[in-house]
Structure 1
Amino acid sequence: MTTDTPARLLQLLSLLQTPREWPGGELADRLGVSRRTVRRDIDRLRELGYPVQASKGSDGGYRLVAGKAMPPLVLDDEEAVAIAVGLRAGAGHAVEGVDEASVRALAKLEQVLPTRLRHRVATLQAATTPLTSGDGASIAPETLTVMASAVAGQERLRFAYRAKDGTESRRLTEPYRLVSTGRRWYLVAYDLDRADWRTFRVDRVREPFATGARFALRELPTGSAAEYLRRSLWRSPDTPEYEYDVTFAAPAQSVSARLSPWLGRPEEEADDSCRLRGTTTDPVEWVAVRLAMAGYEFSVHAPEELVDSVRELGGRMGRAAGG
């Protein structure tokens, strides 16, 4: 529970700057206070000039909206315009170092910019042309801010998408993370129509909009969105796929806790052992290292290339791990 009123107000303001409506009960839970205290804090923010809009209902919600003037942040109009233009230019061209956190900052800033300042930002950006390297594609900043807001608010995102071969489609997704490679932006999301995880180049996205439907985050097949993107980009249609079959000398629950999730979940076997079977396009050397990192003795039944790689790795590490 936050008993320091100024600190609690700053925490409340930070939550409200996420572009979504917050139910009063959820805000109370986040802050560790009563709903009555939340209502009083909302009134204090309004007195300070923050335009907080309330909705009626059994669990009324609150949302920070654009007012007639900039809220009393530590920015004046000129500073707000300068920061918005800089973030828009960097985000739109995937400049290295301008990552998802910067896009979220842009989404928060543009959420409260008055119309007159939004017009100035758009005019300044239209009058400038940044120099980009390579074939980094240009992206409308609005596209990124809509996506970042959907990620932060855990709202389903619908958009039109053009594939590499030019095929057009409509996608309904559960956005997980935005990832920048320095030259391009990618969206890692769960594609509801295809019932699988996908990566989307943001410069091929058109007309994105958050549907308002909330969702619970699914478990990503890999440890992070960056790792999932890396594997997606490295994989090509010509990469050979192979099946692996591994037995661990430990219970399935213990192995699962240490094993990389993308390898799959082992099945319980007799005598406190478990068996892991799956399909992958990753290099056998990489799979061998991930199996060894689980920390249990194991034997590989197939394929032969993985057996050889595990034996070599076992020799280097001084551990018995073979076929």
Structure 2
Amino acid sequence: MLETSARLLRLLSLLQAHRDWSGADLADRLGVTPRTVRRDVDRLRELGYPVNASPGTGGGYQLGAGAELPPLLLDDDEAVAVAVGLRTAAGQGIEGIGETSVRALTKLEQVLPGRLRRRVGALNAFTVPMLRAPRQQGVDPAVLTELAGVCRDAERLRFDYRDHEGSSSRRVVEPHRLVCTERRWYLVAWDLDREDWRTFRVDRLTPRPPHGPRFAPRTPPADDLASYVSQGVSTRAHAAQAVVRLLVPLEEAAQRITPSDGTLEAETARSCLLRTGAPSLDVMVFHVMFMGFEFEVLEPARLADRIRESRDLLSRALDRGVPSADPRGAGPSPTP
């Protein structure tokens, strides 16, 4: 059995991880009796944590918003600073930190008192970031935390969705996970109408609460959801698909090729495989060439044919162009 202080921290972590727990479930997780759980909940309340309890068969414990922040966490100014920082990191898609920021922000906003939520909202509403590059269409951090919440609580989600052609539709899904790249956020969910897994760009959806009812989570479409989404947006979504051998190590290719460009797989110490897609084979030719690596087409054979055709077209254009400069730097000789 865990010591009391360690058990309290474990109990607090469990309460933050899900919206509600039954006393029996908490007792089972902690290896104690339901009576001990009740005493530990009382200790958390004494420390300032707002733990709500509902009686009855369907009752349980919930971590709610309180009148003040628990003393173990942050004071008001620190809480506002952390929340604004997490919102900024989540909204800007900073590589390697965005998903973690959303999880942390979801936990923090769950216990923020109303007065601090208003301060955070005002700072975000009236702050304009000056970025190093033009900002792409952004994602509202409030939408991200809302989606993270329904994923956590296994609640059905209703939303309006706009596809890449601008057509709108109403969707009802069982949300599973949020996946982020350095550019965009995606929601992986089971589409109830289409009876299949789908990937949705978060910047194209608008949640339509109320959410629910609860559902039993399904087995995800892949163990590696990041790779699954990458294949979907870079390869499966396109009419033309290809497998290309890049004659550089995987680490070098990964510095230039993003998950939105394609998926990489190590082959040898000096080569890797790229699986990618494009609207057509003609576009694929330039998509592969502009990556800037020596390569070899593995499939389809038609892509190699299109590359040859493009090579011949460029050669003819050069042959009928201006004369080459004199190698000594004097330029073409004038006509007598």
- After TM superposition, the score normalised by the length of structure 2 is 0.68
Quote the residue 1:9 is aligned against. Answer: 8
Mapped pair 1:100 → 2:99? yes
Contact 2:87 2:141 in 1 (8 A): yes
2-structure distance, mates of 1:17, 1:189: 23
- Residue type of the alignment partner of 1:202: V
Quote the residue 1:233 is aligned against. Answer: 233
Mapped pair 1:25 → 2:16? no
Quote the residue 2:200 is aligned against. Answer: 200
User: What value does the CA root-mean-square deviation take over the aligned residues?
Assistant: 2.3
Quote the residue 1:141 is aligned against. Answer: 141
Q: Residues 210 and 190 from structure 1, CA distance in 2 versus in 1: closer, same or farther, beyond 3 angstroms?
A: farther
Contact 2:161 2:205 in 1 (8 A): yes
1-structure distance, mates of 2:85, 2:142: 14
2-structure distance, mates of 1:188, 1:79: 33
1-structure distance, mates of 2:157, 2:17: 16
Quote the residue 1:287 is aligned against. Answer: none
What secondary structure does 2:240 align onto?
coil
1-structure distance, mates of 2:241, 2:230: 17
Contact 1:146 1:210 in 2 (8 A): no
- After TM superposition, the score normalised by the length of structure 1 is 0.70
Extract structure 1 runs of 4+ deviating beyond 3 A.
Answer: 131-135
Instruction: Quote the offset at 1:184 in angstroms.
Output: 1.1
Q: How does 1:36-185 map to 2 (within 5 A)?
A: 36-132=35-131, 133-185=133-185
- Residue type of the alignment partner of 2:165: D
Count of residue pairs brought into register by the alignment: 245
Larger Rg: 2
Gaps of 5+ in 2: 243-274, 277-298, 301-336
- Residue type of the alignment partner of 1:27: L
1-structure distance, mates of 2:100, 2:32: 28
Contact 1:25 1:59 in 2 (8 A): no
Q: How does 1:283-294 map to 2 (within 5 A)?
A: none
Percent identity among equivalent residues?
56
Contact 2:91 2:98 in 1 (8 A): no
Gaps of 5+ in 1: 242-281, 284-304, 307-323
Instruction: Quote the offset at 1:143 in angstroms.
Output: 0.6
Quote the residue 1:272 is aligned against. Answer: none
- Residue type of the alignment partner of 1:137: Q
Contact 2:93 2:180 in 1 (8 A): yes
